[in-house]
Structure 1
Amino acid sequence: MFAQGIVVFGLNRPKAKNAISRNLVKMMSEAVDAVKTNNKVRTVIVCSLVPGVFCAGADLKERAKMHPSEVGPFVSKARALITELGNLPMPTIAAIDGAALGGGLEMALACDMRVAATSAKMGLVETKLAIIPGAGGTQRLPRTIGVSLAKELIFAGRVVDGAEAQNLGLVNHAVEQNDSGDAAYRRALDLAREIIPQGPIAIRMAKLAINQGIEVDLATGLAIEEACYAQVIPTKDRIEGLTAFKEKRPPRYKGE
């Protein structure tokens, strides 16, 4: 779905609770590739079209039928998909209106922001199956909520609701669920609409500076920021911003 610069990836495997299968990985990888280089896309929202669930994690029924030699390559493909989602140049928002478990939460963690219904359930529960999070969970959760809390949640395989997730800093916003079961999606749309009027190149450069800078020491991070700032100086959007400010009107950014 595409409207006003917002692209929506809607997970839709109702019988399998949006479990991550070979086919879902393939289709979502194609969707990510399609928006990666599209400068008209200002924000991506990942949501579920299945009531009561975001993504239940790996498709364990499919996994049980795999030969042991097939499991590693499949997990690598799922990990690559989630990495690609995390590397999209535009802001990404996960709208969690239901359960996000295992790989489902790992997918949400790869997004820049997360919005959840207070009734949603979230957790990296892999240790219950005698495995560990394999699609970035051991790396992204500590970077999101801190090392000690991440260890507690992962070691215990604990599931938290949306309200607790907000208290932990796991989600940006927690909202009461509505009758149609899409409260988080609606809040994500509101958040996307806040972002869209801003300079799109500036937003992408800010994301790049934050994502790269957080992994290095402050001095290197400041150098990354300077390099990203240099990218916005020659843009038409920057001139438009100054002109609009002077003329006391809203800017009309084109991403140029």
Structure 2
Amino acid sequence: MITYENLLLNLENGILTITVNRADKLNALNSATISEIKQAIQQVYEDTAVKGVIITGAGPKAFVAGADISEIAELSEVNARSFSERGQEVFSMIERCNKPVIAAINGFALGGGCELAMACHMRVASDNARLGLPEVSLGVLPGYGGTQRLTQLVGKGKAMEMAMTGDMIPAEEAKALGLVNHVVPQEELMSKCLQIMEKIRTKAPLAVGLVIDCVNAVFNKDENGYQTEANAFARLCASEDFVEGTNAFLEKRKPNFTGN
């Protein structure tokens, strides 16, 4: 059994909630927390009891308000690349996970926190949330994939503006830009995430996982996304859930998907 010092994990009805639990530091990501997130996501990959994930932050102020500046201040050119690549690896694990991952952004999502949220498949923000990549104020830039994912989500021009000015944007603007999917009052944040997750859980799990693969393929320069889609479509047509889903539709009943 893994013991976590910086995360709280709660599995209920197949939904694993991962809470970054450093409220006194506004849930800032240090190396230990990054390592724990990697362990937790590896657990998601391996545990068949986990059907979906919600990632959030402890307390009412912050999702994750950046990385631990005291650690960043100690970096040199010699170890900075490995520092960046390690975070990229962990966030790519989230992005590639074949189970849905939703970021419940309950406050500030800045720097590494914004990067963590963008690695999730969807983002739901409370109305007090603020998002941004302020790294240029420290003389660096986003190192956990932020320049890439922000551009994918909001487009080149706005990504350039946000990353070069370091400005924070409010939740409603983030929604208008496509950076977050929904904005709700803070007290409704987790219920909204659970509502979305429960809707996804009524669908075929294998199909949901392959949707994630296909959408991610759009941004993989080494992959033909159309071929990935065709391969996934063919694979699903050989699944038990395909038979169940089509039969249920024709018989006018709810399907009972098993993930096979």
Could you tell me the TM-score, scaled by structure 2's length?
Answer: 0.90
Secondary structure at 2:70's aligned position in 1?
Answer: helix
In the TM superposition, what is the alpha-carbon distance from 1:43 to its structure 2 partner? 1.7
Q: Whole-Å Cα distance in 2 between the matches of residues 64 and 215 of structure 1?
A: 32
Between 1:200-209 and 1:61-70, the stretch displaced more is: 61-70
Corresponding residue for 1:74?
A: 83
Could you tell me the TM-score, scaled by structure 1's length?
Answer: 0.91
Q: Please, what is the CA RMSD of the aligned residues? A: 2.0
- Cα offsets for 1:26-64 (capped at 9, x unmatched): 111100111113344322111112221000111112333
Q: Whole-Å Cα distance in 2 between the matches of residues 62 and 243 of structure 1?
A: 56
Find the partner of 1:222 among 223, 226, 238: 226
- Cα offsets for 1:84-124 (capped at 9, x unmatched): 11111122110101000000000000111101012101101
Q: Whole-Å Cα distance in 2 between the matches of residues 66 and 146 of structure 1?
A: 30
Find the partner of 1:175 among 184, 194, 197: 184
Find the partner of 1:251 among 226, 235, 255: 255
Report the number of matched residues.
Answer: 251
Secondary structure at 2:94's aligned position in 1?
Answer: helix
Q: Which runs of 4+ in 1 moved over 6 A?
A: none
Please state if 1:6 is matched with 2:15: yes
In the TM superposition, what is the alpha-carbon distance from 1:164 to its structure 2 partner? 0.9
Q: Whole-Å Cα distance in 2 between the matches of residues 23 and 54 of structure 1?
A: 17
- The residue type equivalent to 1:177 in the other structure is Q
Corresponding residue for 2:141?
A: 132
Q: Whole-Å Cα distance in 2 between the matches of residues 184 and 199 of structure 1?
A: 25
Q: Whole-Å Cα distance in 2 between the matches of residues 63 and 150 of structure 1?
A: 23
Q: Whole-Å Cα distance in 2 between the matches of residues 175 and 153 of structure 1?
A: 23
Q: Whole-Å Cα distance in 1 between the matches of residues 27 and 222 of structure 2?
A: 39
Between 1:39-48 and 1:161-170, the stretch displaced more is: 39-48
In the TM superposition, 1:166-245 aligns within 5 A as: 166-178=175-187, 183-215=188-220, 220-245=224-249
Aligned residues of 2:135 and 2:141 also touching (Cα < 8 A):
yes
- The residue type equivalent to 2:43 in the other structure is A
Where does the alignment leave 5 or more consecutive residues of structure 1 unmatched? none
Corresponding residue for 1:44?
A: 53
Secondary structure at 2:19's aligned position in 1?
Answer: strand
Between 1:40-49 and 1:28-37, the stretch displaced more is: 40-49
Q: Whole-Å Cα distance in 1 between the matches of residues 93 and 221 of structure 2?
A: 21
Corresponding residue for 2:123?
A: 114
- The residue type equivalent to 1:129 in the other structure is L
Between 1:41-50 and 1:107-116, the stretch displaced more is: 41-50
In the TM superposition, what is the alpha-carbon distance from 1:66 to its structure 2 partner? 5.8
Aligned residues of 2:214 and 2:225 also touching (Cα < 8 A):
yes
Secondary structure at 1:58's aligned position in 2?
Answer: coil
Find the partner of 1:144 among 144, 147, 153: 153
Between 1:3-12 and 1:141-150, the stretch displaced more is: 3-12
